[in-house]
Amino acid sequence: MDKRMEIPVYLFTGFLESGKTKFIQEMMTDDRFNEGEKTLLLVFEEGEEEYQPKYFASDNVHIEYVEDIADINDEVLEVIAKKHGIQRVIVEYNGMLEVGKFLDVMPSNWVLAQVLMIADSNTFFNFNANMRQLTFDKMQCSEAVIFNRFDNSKDKMEFHKIVRTAGRKIDILYEYKDGHVEPDNIPDPLPYDLNTPIVEIKDEDYAEFYRDICEEGEKYDGKILSFKGIVAVDDTLPKNTIVLGRHIMTCCEADIFYGAFVCEYKQVIALKKRDWVKITAKVKFRKHEVYEGVGPVFEAMSIEKTVKPEQELATF
């Protein structure tokens, strides 16, 4: 176990000219956030706007510029941290890099405290259309997405829908040109009713269902659900146990995964890999070796072979 002092990391993502530098500059001039902690400001991207340290609330901020992430690793960052005796890290990240590349080189005692995405509301749709995977990567890693340079000519729902493809728990904020900020209050009802005796998950709702049960599993415990899925079998699974789910595309064809669950059944039915079945089952959250811990186990009340849906790939 790493017994060194944990160093909180505040990571700001977003594309070039999105307003990251301005946001961090204003934050560092605020006494409420900058109380004198020895801070490393790690800058991966230099835009037109430059930092003005003379306006920072404290002179304990040390700026280091990184031209290429290949030039750094955990040892290099530890040397920098030791040189300045830092107590926290603020990162202005390069918009053309996936967030995981930075997480891979963070020292083990650096701990993410907050991840925010800053987006220019005037260019966001263009980036989302042409760099969808990078946009999705930033959204899904963020606690909040802040759309700046906003005005009343823009439809919040269009921004809301794109962010919600990455997660239902991501906060969305709109910063207007006059500086005031409004939270996104658009409701996100599920496309199915969890209070019905048997919750029917339609083919087109599987991706949303999968994400929601992974994020808020406690509300599904004890519920009876019915859905279609494709079977995966393995000789290492216990008897009368399968893995059942759908292939889900989160943002693009390069980002497809098999979103599935453990299913147990008592019926006499011969199932093989890639069979399509419809299952009605009670969900129980309990330990299972497949999850290497606690996860949703679907205890089948009925399971029958069926035809594959018109669209095999589940999407948001």
DSSP summary character for residue 32: T
pLDDT at 3: 63
What is the average per-residue pLDDT within 234-241?
Answer: 85
Helices (H), ranges, 9-143: 20-28, 74-84, 99-105, 124-130, 132-141
Helices (H), ranges, the chain: 20-28, 74-84, 99-105, 124-130, 132-141, 156-164, 206-215
Instruction: Of 42, 62, 51, 20, give the one whose Cα is nearest residue 106.
Output: 42
> pLDDT band for position 37 (50/70/90)?
confident
Could you identify the residue written with the tokens 């961090």?
Answer: 24
What is the average per-residue pLDDT within 269-278?
Answer: 90
Query: Cβ-count burial of 19 within 10 angstroms (0-12 exposed, 13-18 middle, 19+ buried)?
Result: buried
With residue 196 as reference, give the H or E element that holds it. none
What is the average per-residue pLDDT within 288-300?
Answer: 92
Contact criterion met (CB below 8 Å) for 69 and 40? no
The two tokens of residue 57 are 């609330």
* pLDDT higher than 80, residue 316: no
* pLDDT higher than 80, residue 253: no
How does the average pLDDT of the chain come out, rounded? 92
| Sheet of 110-120, strand order | 61-65, 39-43, 88-92, 7-13, 110-120, 144-150, 171-176, 181-183
Q: CA-to-CA distance for 278 and 305, rounded, in angstroms?
A: 6
- Phi and psi torsions of 295, nearest 5°: -160, 175
Q: CA-to-CA distance for 172 and 183, rounded, in angstroms?
A: 6
The two tokens of residue 285 are 């959250």
What is the average per-residue pLDDT within 305-312?
Answer: 92
User: Distances from the Cα of 297 to the Cαs of 22, 218, 271, in angstroms?
Assistant: 48, 13, 18
pLDDT at 252: 66
Q: Amino acid identity, residue 30? A: D
pLDDT at 29: 93
pLDDT at 1: 44
Instruction: Of 115, 97, 118, 123, give the one whose Cα is nearest residue 25.
Output: 118
* pLDDT higher than 80, residue 102: yes
What is the average per-residue pLDDT within 89-118?
Answer: 96
